[in-house]
Amino acid sequence: MSNNTLKAIDFFCSGGGMTNGIRQAGIDVIAGIDFDPDVKMTYEENNPGSKFILADVFELETKELQNKYGLKKNDDKMVFIGCSPCQYWSIIRTNKEKSQKSKDLLKEFHRFVKYYNPGFVVVENVPGLERKSSESGLDNFVRDLEERGYVVKYDIYNLNEYGVPQTRKRFSLIASRVVDKKIFPDKSKEKPVVKDFIGEHNGFPKVKAGHTDNSEFMHTVSRLNDENLLAIKNTIPGGIPAKRRLKFKGSGFKDSYGRMEWGKPAPTITTKFFSLSNGRFGHPEEDRALSLREGATLQTFPKDYKFKAKSKAAIARMIGNAVPPEFARRIGEAIVKSSKDTNG
């Protein structure tokens, strides 16, 4: 690594979606930090050279990164990335009591930013983080960055405009104290859709509900009972079964049991994308929900990305919680470009 290479620490790294995209942009991700031991193998297998640090940020002392891993204060080439779990601020119905602790993760990330004062800071989260900016700590976070000389740019981004084939909206912030202009990712020339990523023409053979793929490609699909199999068979692309439409009208997952459409972006890939009952996750043609690999591909993970976990649910959780690597790559490239422009 040359002295001019940007380097990063990925807080709340999970299975490595952000790390992978940032690495594609040419930034050396020194390490990813996460409290979940089950994501370690996936993270390190797919991001060689990026160390996995098992730690809970609520218990991790700021000096520990300095003492154990050689981090320095005021490093102009350092990027701190904080993509904390976002269940508490999500509009999707979740158990807020279970996710209560996660609501303060931005404040914990802020503790590390203040101590190390890195050249660049990135935050990625659900739009709810901004909607409740006082409670989430965002107001204080941005105010502190600006008072210490950072140029801050944040917005709600429609990821479909940034190479991701989903109707996925995310809050993203990029700040720098070494670049005197606002930094933001470049949009795509075209908005990608489902047919650009999955289907037989993209290397996904036709399979039936309940199919198990024991290879690392993981084209594994959940089973369907007879009632739900009949319902999906009678559903056109973009539609949902009539009885489901009546049942879910006005509340809940109104698109449950629906099919995606080839010519439109997929819905937001959640941690439950492999289940028909949790959204419009039906395949456009085949009578089944998305496979694990299809969900990962719609999240823009490389097709050779290897997911290691004990269950389908754990793998789907890693995929659904991830920052899409393509969006992360664009964030990384914007930072690299701004750094080069500043340094001539």
Least-confidence region, from 115-124, 225-234, 245-254: 245-254
Q: Which residue has the higher pLDDT, 68 or 130?
A: 68
- Cβ atoms 251, 91 nearer than 8 A: no
Among residues 30, 86, 159, 218, which one is catalytic?
A: 86
pTM of the predicted model as reported, rounded to 2 decimal places:
0.91
13 is catalytic: no
CATH code at position 96: 3.40.50.150
Verify that 29 and 126 share a domain, yes or no.
yes
210 and 159 in a single domain? The answer is no
The string of pLDDT tens digits covering residues 7-52 is: 999 999 999 999 999 999 999 999 999 999 999 999 999 999 999 9
Cα separation, 162 vs 186, in Å, equals: 7
Max mean pLDDT among 243-252, 270-279, 324-333 falls in: 324-333
Overall number of domains in the chain: 2
Instruction: Supply the pLDDT for residue 133.
Output: 65
Q: By the 8 A CB rule, do 323 and 8 touch?
A: no
Q: Residue 99's pLDDT band (boundaries 50, 70, 90)?
A: very low
- In the block, tokens 């930072």 appear at 335
Q: Which domain holds residue 46?
A: 7-187+323-343
CB of 34 closer than 8 Å to CB of 54: yes
User: Coil, strand or helix: which one is 102?
Assistant: helix
Would residue 310 count as lying in a domain?
no
- Are residues 258 and 175 both part of a single domain? no
Q: Residue 130: which pLDDT band, with cuts at 50, 70 and 90?
A: low
Amino acid at 204: F
- Tell me, yes or no, whether 312 lies in a domain: no
pLDDT tens for 196-241 read: 999 999 999 999 999 999 999 999 999 999 988 998 998 888 887 7
121 bridge partner residues: 80, 175
Q: Note whether 11 and 135 are same-domain residues.
A: yes
**Tell me, what CATH number does 276's domain have?**
3.90.120.10
| Burial per residue of 41-75, b for 16 or more beta-carbon CB atoms within 10 angstroms, e otherwise | ebbbbbbeebebbeeebeebeeeebeeeeebeeeb
**Residue 79 DSSP code:** E
pLDDT band at 138 (very low <50, low <70, confident <90, very high): confident
What DSSP assignment string belongs to 33-67? Answer: EES-GGGHHHHHHHSTT-EEEE--TTT--HHHHHH
Same-domain status, 239 and 181: no
Q: Does residue 153 lie within any of the structural domains?
A: yes
The count of other CB atoms within 10 Å of the CB of residue 226 is 7
Q: Do residues 269 and 298 touch, judged by C-beta distance below 8 A?
A: yes
Of all residues in the chain, what percent carry a pLDDT higher than 70?
88
- Copy the structure tokens of residue 229: 């199999």
